[in-house]
Amino acid sequence: MPKNIKHNPVEQAESILKHHKNLFGNLLYTEKTTSSVVKESETNYSEEWASATTLNDLNDKICNCQKCELGSTRKNFVFGSGNPKADVMFIGEAPGAEEDIQGLPFVGRAGQLLTKIIESINFKREEVFICNILKCRPPNNRDPLPNEMQTCEPYLQKQIEIINPKLILCLGRISGQTLLKSNETLTTLRQKVHTYRGISLMVTYHPAALLRNPHWKRPTWEDLKKFRALYDEMKNANK
């Protein structure tokens, strides 16, 4: 029997919570068979930026962040852009090379494709809000490290709180897994409408993945049609 297996139920619970906290910080989540539900964070942010009530104020307060090592390698901080009162948010993973140069999200080739994706379901780019989980570019576009995501994610949570969208579309597996605190595959995440802090959330392919593999455009289109239908349903229900 391995030494680290706990026999006492209290010790077992403490061990599970410790692992959960190491992985996800103070964010608690539950998961259902048909949809996953992320509950309100219990994190009580005491830092100054947490008092921001507008996106501009938040940007001003966090744009010089050096909380993780990406702060020292970025050219520009990439807050996000779009309508501060957007009904719909598109959330990717991290800035790439062009985004790092311009300080804007999704402005490279993948960004041009994202604009087409947004327009394909009858939104205009300027009426939605686009951002990433990480605000600084990982060198050479490597995958974000768990500690970088955990350190930066509260900024995204604050953006979502201020914007208060009706719907979120996560672009790619890492975005979906991070927001939903899930280890499920992209295929599985795509099959459900999730709830993130009371906001409906769907997951689809990242535009950069579609550039690498055009065969994923068809399933992405199916996701987008569902996303638009969900939005229309919600708008009609609120009339």
Question: Rule CB under 6 A: which residues touch ligand SF4?
Answer: 65-68, 70-71, 134-136, 148, 151-152
DSSP annotation of 31 reads: E
Instruction: For ligand SF4, give the closer residue by CB, 70 or 186.
Output: 70
Record the tokens describing residue 184, joined without a space: 């499920």
Q: Of 155, 197, 201, which Cα lies nearest the Cα of 42?
A: 197
CB of 135 to ligand SF4, least distance (A): 4
Instruction: For ligand SF4, give the closer residue by CB, 50 or 230.
Output: 50
CB of 215 to ligand SF4, least distance (A): 32
Q: How many CB atoms lie within 10 A of CB 231?
A: 20
Instruction: For ligand SF4, give the closer residue by CB, 78 or 121.
Output: 78
Answer yes or no: are the C-beta atoms of 80 and 129 closer than 8 Å: yes
Answer yes or no: are the C-beta atoms of 26 and 42 closer than 8 Å: yes
In sequence order, what are the residues at sequence separation of 6 or more whose Cβ sits closer than 8 angstroms to the Cβ of residue 49?
58, 61, 62, 155, 158
Query: What is the rounded CA–CA span in Å between residue 42 and residue 73?
Result: 31
In sequence order, what are the residues at sequence separation of 6 or more whose Cβ sits closer than 8 angstroms to the Cβ of residue 10?
none
CB of 171 to ligand SF4, least distance (A): 17
CB of 226 to ligand SF4, least distance (A): 31
Instruction: For ligand SF4, give the closer residue by CB, 133 or 180.
Output: 133
Instruction: For ligand SF4, give the closer residue by CB, 95 or 108.
Output: 95
CB of 32 to ligand SF4, least distance (A): 30
